[in-house]
Each structure stands twice: as C-alpha cells, then as structure tokens.
Structure 1
Amino acid sequence: MNWLLVGASTVAQEWIISAIRAINDEVTCIVSTDLVRAQNFARQQSIPNFSHDLKHALYSNKVDAVYISSTNSLHAEQAIIALKAQKHVMCEKPMALSITDAQQMIEQAKIHQVVLAVNYHLRNSAVIQKMRELIASDCIGEVQNIRFCHAVSLPKNLQNWRIDTPSEGGVILDITVHDIDTLRFLLDDEPISVSAMAQTGLISPNNVPETVMGTIEFTKGTLVSFYDSFTAQYFQTSIDIIGSKGNLQALNTLTQHSTGELHLNNDKGSQAIPIEHRNLYISSFQQFKNAIQDQGRPVATAYDGLRSLEIALAIQQAIENKMHISLTSGESLCF
C-alpha cells in the first residue's frame, strides 16, 4: 500500500515510517501545514512528495491509506477529509477532541466503507498481552485493584503545543487516554465512574494539566488508581495488578520501546515471566493492513478510540468540577 502522512511529527520520524516500510508498504507523501517543514521532512526521510494541502495531496497522489499525527485539534478535521476521499485512516490518539467529532469520523468510515483505527500501540506490548492472558486464565483470581503509573519527563522538543494550549488536553489527552485503552484491553471491561485531580505550573505557562492522579471504577468491581505526568524525573513506569490469588507487577513497559519485565507473585513466591518482545508499531500497522484485506481487525478500532476519549473527557470534567463522575458503561456520553 501507499501511505500519506499528515503531520511532520517526531513519532512519524522515529517510529511510523520504519514500521510502514517493515511491512513492505511505501510512504509516498508527507503533508504539513508548514510547507517548508514538509519539504525538509520529505528530504530527510526519502519521501518523494510533500504538500501543505491535504485535499490536493489526496487526489494528486496514488494513496491507499493515511496516517495522522498532527496536533490533537486537527485530527478529526483531517481524518474526515481523508475518509471522504475513501482512504483508510490510522489516527493518533486522541482521535478527536469531542464525542461529536469522533462519532462523525466513525460515520464517515462506515459510509465510505474504509477502515478507521486509532494507534494505541501499548496493546501490542508483549508484557501487556501476557498480563491480559494471565488475567483471562484466572492465574491471579478475581482482579480487585490496579495501580497504574504512567509518568514521564516530557522532552523539551515535545513540550510546545502539549503544554502551551489548554484545548489540546495536556497530559490527559496525551497519556491518560493510553491508560484507559490499556486498562479496557487488560480487563476486557468498561469503566463506570471516575474521579481525579490535576497539577500544573512546573513546565506549562498556561495552566495546562501536567500531572493527573485519579481513580477509575470498572463494571466488574475493579478499582484502579492512576498517576500520569509530564514532569516525573527518572521515573520508571509500572502496572501492579492485585488479584484474589496473586498479583502481577510490570515494570518499564508503558513506553514506545519493545521493553519491560513482568513478575507473578503468589503463594509459591515471586516468578519472572518470560517475555518475547517485538516492535509495537510494526504490529499495529501489520494488523491494520490485515484489516483492510478482511483478515481481522485493527489493534484498536475506532470504537476503542471513542471509548477512551469519552472516559478522558469525563476525567477532565471531574477535575474541572471537583466531583465524582458516573458513566454509562459502553454507551456514548454527551459533552
């Protein structure tokens, strides 16, 4: 397949282009609102075409699929343009900034009979997939509580719009949406309530949330505490899952890299679980390609993207209104 990239982003440069090429597809065009940036990016990444006009690029190049990694506020508009052009779309999270926009994206994908997916790459982590397998096999019994720590030190080159523009969502729409999707995947369950508090002022000049702590309650009774941050120096991410017969501890797996370790603790002591790591992004794009060929479904569907957005917006509401928010499991919320 031939791919058009929307957004001359760091993630596209460091991870996506190589993943697309690894599955024997080609990147044929890059689109950025900044034409000079697009030109420089195309030259550096050996991409034959570049443009600042998405509609023109879609219709003047042989394009089968579009990957979107622009700023959050542009995702929905750009995705809808691509979907209306009957192109398959892989969109970075969050898929939109409102439920209405996300629903419109899903509707356009249905109308034009193309595949729409959201790039929740953590589902491909071999550690997280092993944890899901162990939970499903009743290895640790009924899951009671989870402590989810997804805190990082945001590099200077990635701070810009993520901490400057409140509407972009700060840490909540950058990291917490990943937590929500990963938790839904791990538990095969839906959140029913959330509460949270946020912190700002360390790196953001405009009171954009930099750190958030909160709780999520799931339908089957699991209670989750989560800690997400842009300002955690020298911190190692972790997931602790506490069950009625044992617990699982994952370290350094909430990352773009194929890394992490997993331990099972129960009445037999502590056991390291063998893990066979693989590239998370290659897995995402291979399954997306398979879905286009009617050979399965994407790693994270558009519905998964909608659900993670709904819960993230509920967390924003909980912070803003200083209140506990109840959700309707599996159904769209109205904001």
Structure 2
Amino acid sequence: MTAKIRWALIGASTIADEWMVDAIRSQPDGEIVTVISGSAERARGFAEKNAIPSHSTDLGSVLADPSITAVYISSTNDRHLSQALAAAKAGKHVLCEKPLALTEDEAAQMIEACESHGVKLGTNHHLRCAATHRKIRELIRAGAIGMPLFVRVFHAVSLPPHLRGWRIERPEAGGGVILDISVHDIDTLRFLLDDEPVEVSAMTSSGTMSSAGLADGVMAIVRFRNGVLAQLHDAFTVPFAPTGLEIHGTTGSLFAKDVMTQRPVGEIALNTADGMQNIQIEHRDLYCTAVAQFHRAISGDQNPAATGADGYRSLVAALSLMKSAEAGEHVTVPSRFAE
C-alpha cells in the first residue's frame, strides 16, 4: 500500500476551502490531518465544514507531529515567511500560495531553508497547471508559431466581494493587484516561453476599489531575455471583460480565451498560413494537477509544478513592476535563481 502524504493546512482560507481540500483528497495517497488558523472559531468552522478531524491555533504543536508530511500555506502573504521557515525546520514539505513572500530576501530565505532541511518547496502558481497553458507551451516548443515575438495578457476582472478585505485594504499584508494577479501573469509567461523577464515598465491606477492607496489596476510591459515583449492588463475593477492571452510569432499566432482563471475551461486557436485551427484541449482541475505533481516531487520523481525558485523569479518581477510604477521608469529585474 502506498504511504499516505498527510497534510496540515496553514490558513483556513477561501482558496483552501474552494479548491485545495478537494485537490488533496483527489490524490489516492493524500490525506488532510488538520487545519490551523489564528482564529480558533475560524479553524473550528473550517474543520467542521470540510470534515477535517482536527483543528488548532498552535502551529508549533502541529509541526511537532511526526506523522505530518507536508503543509499547505494559504495565510496572508505577510505570514508566509515565518510559517514556511518553521515548517522546513520541522522537516515538513512546503506548498505555499503565491506570492511566495513579500520581498526578494524573504523568498530567498524560504528557498535556502527548505534546501538546508532537505524538504521540497513548491509555489502554488496554479495557472501553469492549466491544460490550456500546457498545450500552449507544447505548441510553442514544437515551433507552431515560429519564434515568439510579442504577447498580450488580459487579466482584468472584478474581484468578488468575499475576496476583497486585505487585498484592497492592507499594504502590509501584500495587498494590491500586482502581487495578486500580475505575479500570476508573469509566472504563466515564464512557463509558456521558457524564458525570464529582464526589464519591466508599469503604470498603476487606484481608488476605484482600493481605499488604502493600493493599486487596483495596472498596465505593464515586460521584456524577456530572448527579446519577447509582453503587455499585461490586470485589474480588480473590470466586471465584464473576458480573460485571455495572445502570443504572436514569426510564423503564427495563438489566441487563448478564458484561460486566466482557476476553472478548467478555455479555448485555444492557432492561426498560420494554413488558416485558423481550433486546438483540442482535455481540461483537468488545475489544483488536482498541482497537488499530484507535488506528491510526485515528495516521492523524488520530479520537481513541483512551480518550484521555490519559480516563486522567487515571478515575485521579483512583480516587485519590479511595483517599483517601476512608483518611480516612473524602466526597472531591471534581479537575476538570482534564473537558469
């Protein structure tokens, strides 16, 4: 019988409730042991709703349990560092929500701690687990559009009321559209293009939704190492726009509709000299794909879908967007952990 991978959920979050509980339980070797929250009432309610056998407010006592294999961290962004360091020290594998941390140094500390304690670190960048994006990556690698030249990403949405809170009110918790949405765009493009961002320029808007001066909209340009220019449009404030992306190359263009989403949906079309072709997609739950790959990483067969280094690289590019918007100038993206 395959040994169980026993999980502790750190954070009684919406994403854990809506997506990750089922994703972990979909694995034949996955089991959720406990949920931890700073609020005893929230932890209890989450455990009861999701039939989790125990709940706690004491991270230390949970991490001291030798039967727990891994932790999933979905607390607010400002807590990721301390919780990941504690988990690594206790010998637990760590799957952490994006953004990995709030600063470049914090993300590096998380990577180094997990390496030194011999545990896996994954960043839950779910979009790279979408069947649509994996198909796009496959097509680009196969030369379907020739050499990629330009990308446009449309990820302007309306942030649901139940997700607003700290995302639009608390700068210290890592709120704002760039660390919530743009970091996903960057990670997705890094995955699709097999390339790294080297320079960015951004302008932000705020005030439509955020009351704390946080950016609730951004338009940005990202230059990649191999020359691709990508345009990003991200927002919390746009209720009726579809999401998607376009990738234009020397011999073709890919058009992907409704793909910047948590749901396993979306369409892809390839346009070349032979005309427009709709690409067949076998959709799968993004989070089930991510957890399955993290389980294989724990077993030693492969890396997490997004590693700690991926989380770092996508974070520092997003932080560079914020710096660019504040300074009103182009910003060079730090190159640490780039292959």
Shorter-normalised TM range: over 0.9
The residue type equivalent to 1:148 in the other structure is V
- 1:80 corresponds, among 76, 85, 89, to 85
Equivalent residue, structure 1, for 2:305: 299
Q: In the TM superposition, what whole-angstrom CA distance separates every residue of 1:249-268 from its partner, at most 9, and x where no partner exists?
A: 00001111110000011112
Q: Post-superposition shift, 1:18?
A: 0.4
Corresponding residue for 1:256? Answer: 262
Aligned equivalents of 1:326, 1:102: Cα separation in 2: 18
Conserved 8 A contact 2:253-2:270: yes
Give the distance between the partners of 2:231 and 2:290, measured in 1 at CA.
27
Following the alignment from structure 1 to structure 2, what is the Cα–Cα distance between the partners of residues 146 and 61? 47
What amino acid is aligned across from residue 9 of structure 2 in structure 1? Answer: L
Q: Distance in 1 between matches of 2:189 and 2:267?
A: 18
Report the equivalent of 2:33: 28
Give distance in 2, aligned partners of 1:328 and 1:106.
Answer: 16
Matched-pair contact (CA < 8 Å) for 1:190–1:330? no
Match of 1:63 in 2: 68
Aligned equivalent of 2:51 = 46
Q: For 1:148, which of 153, 166, 180 is the aligned residue?
A: 153
Equivalent residues of 2:169, 2:175 under 8 A apart: no
Task: Give the alignment's Cα RMSD to 1 decimal.
Answer: 1.1
Does 2:139 match 1:134? yes
- Counterpart among 98, 104, 108 of residue 93 in structure 1: 98
Deviation at 1:56, TM superposition (A): 1.4
Please say if 1:2 is aligned against 2:6.
yes
**Residues 195 and 214 of structure 1 are in contact (CA less than 8 Å); yes or no, is this contact kept in structure 2?**
yes
Q: Secondary structure at the match of 1:253?
A: coil
The letter for the 2-side match of 1:304 is D
1:244 is aligned to 250
Q: 1:158-191 deviations in whole A, cap 9, x for unaligned?
A: 0000000123141111111111110010110111
Structure 2 counterpart SS, 1:78: helix
Task: Tell me the amino acid that sits aligned with residue 225 of structure 1.
Answer: Q
In structure 2, give the amino acid aligned to 1:212: V
1:235 is displaced (CA, Å) by 1.4
- 3-state secondary structure, aligned to 1:220: coil
Task: Determine the structure 2 residue equivalent to 1:12.
Answer: 16
SS in 1 for 2:232: strand
Unaligned residue ranges in structure 1 (runs of 5+): none
Answer yes or no: is 1:161 the counterpart of 2:133: no
SS at match of 2:16: helix
Preserved CA contact (<8 Å) 1:246 1:264: yes
Q: 2:208 aligns with which of 180, 202, 207?
A: 202
TM-score (norm 1): 0.97
Q: 1:330, CA displacement in angstroms?
A: 5.1
Decide whether the 8 Å contact of 2:137 with 2:193 is kept in 1: yes
Identity %: 46
Q: Aligned residue for 1:221?
A: 227
- Any idea what SS the aligned residue of 2:106 has? helix
Distance across 1 between alignment mates of 2:196 and 2:335? 6
**Kept after mapping to 2: 8 A contact 1:194/1:325:** yes
Runs of 5+ in structure 2 lacking a partner?
Answer: none
2:296 to 267, 280, 290: 290
The 1:32/1:243 distance shift into structure 2, 3 A limit, reads same
Residue 64 of structure 2 aligns to a residue whose secondary structure is helix
Q: Kindly state the Cα deviation for residue 144 of structure 1 after the two structures are TM-superposed.
A: 0.9
Opposite residue 95 of structure 1, the aligned amino acid is L
Aligned residues: 332
2:324 aligned with 1:318: yes
